[in-house]
Amino acid sequence: MALKFHNTLTRSLVPFTPLTAGKVHLYTCGPTVYNRVHIGNLRTFVWEDVLCRALRYLGFETVQVMNLTDIDDKTIRGAIQEGITLKEFTARHVETFFEDLATLNVSPAAHYPRATDHIPEMVEIVKKLTERGHTYESDGSIWFRIASFPSYGKLARVDLSSMQRGARVADDEYEKEDVRDFAVWKGWKEGEPESATWTTELGKGRPGWHLECSAMSMKYLGETLDIHTGAVDNIFPHHENEIAQSEGATGKEFVRYWLHAEHLIVDGEKMAKSKGNFFTVPDLLSRGHSPRAIRYLFLSVPYRQKLNFTFESLAAAASAVARLESLDLRLGERARSTGASAIEDGVEAKISSFQNEFREGLEDDLNTAAALGALFSFVREANADLESGQLSPAGAAAFQRALRGADSVLGVLPKAEAGLLDSEIQAKIDLRQAARKRRDFAAADAIRDELAALGITLEDTPAGVRWRRKS
RNA sequence: GGCGACGUACCCAAGUGGCUAAGGGAAGGCUCUGCAAAAGCCUGAUUCGCCGGUUCGAAUCCGGCCGUCGCCUCCA
């Protein structure tokens, strides 16, 4: 089986081949930095991370670009409200955004361009659009004339006949030729702060929404991208308008594969601050939930399905992650023990059948649920071999490599070993072992409880005491 | 109103015409254990929202109904 993706452009599953063999250029729509991102946003960002990791696992090189939209109505409003400059306002939210990505173990993209650093590039696009007759001026702003772009609507499949030419929308302060025309350059208006205003060949004002994505994606990835992603709400108007602007300016196909993630909902409802079901990563961490469980929960539902976030499923995810972590620990122990050095035949067969199934899951439009199914069948087999006592250290090491290979896509195992054994912890463990030896179980349990309170879990195993930190 | 998605066990979820309907979690039993923890084994949908239809055969295709949800200009 070969890699396939669901392309929003055709609404069908299609084989994927990048423009340049072996190398994928992808643009993953990033945040507008006006608040702390919520778990719904992060579902999309984690999916985009897994997409990139999966592409690399499948042997592609990736160049990922994620924009930071730091100029729009919401960021301006926020800056005005707080009485600070636009840059000061957005810098805060950029910072917490990267914090949340790091918490959820998202691998960094190659570039995180900011809209405000690319004003000249945006101006260039507007000029090109104007040369090609795609724009007009009205009320000091420059608009994209949809009537000049016949294939407008091809992504969102909007019905153009519902457009009313020459209509003026009651609550719209601009005079447009067509209600669906959109601004590529917004003329300065009374009250807009200096920090959010640029004086360019186009006049005094600021770029329209959508334009930053066209400018920055093409700057870093070329005029035709392999993949462009976002959540479903971006299909219209954002991505539709990006196509119009970009293709209008270059005359070339803008994006070959459009991928869109479904939304996350909470308890079956759209997340909303007013409903009290609105969560951020710090919210969940303060309730004692693990970032790795959050990440696992996101992966357990394929990206084109709505993900119903509940605390029950978050707890289930935590258990599943703990099981993976436990296997990794046990395999590591066995791998370091002494014994036969050759890998037994059965081990290789189990690994390759697991890897095939895992890969097939990923290749099937990033079906992470199917991939996880394959992983846990493998977990069962590895545990059974471990339990039998027959698994060689080399076999255990091979199993562990396979497990960690899969985790290079999933990213739910703990980061590399936490350095040296904490000598204090080891001293407590030794004390407890002494107490157990003299059958003073009350003292032994007291020590275990004491460590548990510090987030250290002990497990007595035939091979000795195993301990780990609660993540 | 227009467009679209979804409805599989207690919860999450794979599965898109044909082997015994993946996998995870929770639950119960057993093994191991001082007790825990971890791990293993076993148990668990004659059934895929409901009703019809097509077919030798459908969770999978078609029609209707019921239910849930989303988008329709700045929400990922």
Token pair belonging to A140:
């000091």
**Nucleotide B42 C1' to residue A230 CA (A):** 45
What's residue A180's pLDDT?
Answer: 79
- Binned at pLDDT 50, 70 and 90, residue A161 comes out as low
With contact defined as beta carbons under 8 Å apart, do A424 and A393 qualify?
Answer: no
Say which nucleotide is closest to residue A367, CA to C1' distance: B14
Q: Which nucleotide is nearest to A386 (CA to C1')?
A: B39
Residue A464 pLDDT more than 60? yes
Question: Tell me, what's the pLDDT at A281?
Answer: 94
For residue A18, CA distances in Å to A141, A217, A414, A423 come to 38, 16, 32, 51
**Is residue A411 predicted with pLDDT exceeding 80?**
yes
Of the candidate CATH numbers 1.10.645.10, 2.40.50.100, 3.40.50.1100, 1.10.730.10, the domain formed by A281-410 belongs to 1.10.730.10
Confidence category of residue A154, pLDDT binned at 50, 70, 90? confident
Provide, in whole angstroms, the distance separating residue A50's CA from nucleotide B31's C1': 39
Quickly count: other Cβ atoms within 10 Å of residue A158's Cβ. 16
Interacting residues of A189 by C-beta distance below 8 A, sequence separation 6+: none
CB neighbours (10 Å) of residue A390?
A: 12
Task: Answer yes or no: are the C-beta atoms of A45 and A29 closer than 8 Å.
Answer: no
Kindly report, residue by residue over A209-242, the tens digit of the pLDDT: 899 999 999 999 999 999 999 998 888 888 999 9
Nucleotide nearest to A73 (CA to C1'): B74
Alpha carbon of A211 to those of A125, A126, A285, A344: distances in Å?
8, 9, 36, 58
Q: From the CA of A305, how many Å to the C1' of B48? A: 18
As a rounded value in angstroms, the CA-to-C1' distance for A266 and B13 is 17
Q: Where does A295-340 show beta strands of DSSP type E?
A: 307-309
CA of A71 to C1' of B66 (A): 46
For A379 and B49, how far is CA from C1' in angstroms?
Answer: 34
Q: Which nucleotide is nearest to A459 (CA to C1')?
A: B37
> CA-to-C1' distance for A260 and B70, Å?
14
Closest CA to A213 of A89, A91, A65, A95: A65
A87-95: long-range pairs with CB below 8 Å, 24+: A87/A116, A87/A195, A89/A34, A90/A33, A90/A34, A90/A114, A90/A116, A93/A31, A93/A33, A93/A34, A93/A35, A93/A36, A94/A33, A94/A68, A94/A70
DSSP state of A192: -
Q: Find the Å distance, CA of residue A257 to C1' of nucleotide B17.
A: 30
Place of tokens 């395999």: A331
Q: Which nucleotide is nearest to A180 (CA to C1')?
A: B73
The residue type of A175 is: E
Query: Has domain A4-261 been given CATH number 3.10.450.50?
Result: no
Token pair, residue A287, equals 């309730």
**In 3-state terms, what secondary structure has residue A329?**
helix
How distant is C1' of B75 from CA of A392, in Å?
54
Point out the residue nearest to B76 (C-alpha to C1').
Answer: A41
Burial bucket for residue A374 (CB in 10 Å: 0-12, 13-18, 19+): buried
Instruction: Using the C1' atom of nucleotide B41, identify the protein residue whose alpha carbon is closest.
Output: A384
Q: What is the DSSP string of A370-422?
A: HHHHHHHHHHHHHHHHHHHT---HHHHHHHHHHHHHHHHHH--SPSS--SSPP
d(CA A371, CA A374): 5
Contacts of A269 (CB under 8 A, 6+ apart): A275, A277
d(CA A359, CA A356): 5
> Cα separation of A37 and A192, whole Å?
25
Q: What is the pLDDT of residue A447?
A: 86
Model pLDDT for residues A18-52, shown as the tens digit of each residue: 999 999 999 999 999 999 999 999 999 999 999 99
> Which nucleotide is closest, CA of A376 to its C1'?
B23
Query: What percent of chain A lies above the pLDDT cut of 90?
Result: 62
ipTM for the predicted complex: 0.92
Question: Rounded to an integer, what distance in angstroms lies between the CA atom of residue A293 and that of residue A314?
Answer: 6
Strand B: which nucleotides have any atom within 7 A of a protein Cβ?
2-3, 5-6, 11-15, 22-26, 33-41, 68-76
Which nucleotide is closest to the Cα of A186 by its C1'? B74
Q: What is the mean pLDDT of chain A?
A: 88
Peptide bond preceding A237: is omega within 30 degrees of 0, i.e. cis?
yes
Q: How far apart are CA A246 and CA A223, in angstroms?
A: 8
**Model confidence over A420-457: pLDDT tens digits?**
456 778 888 888 888 898 888 888 888 888 888 777 88
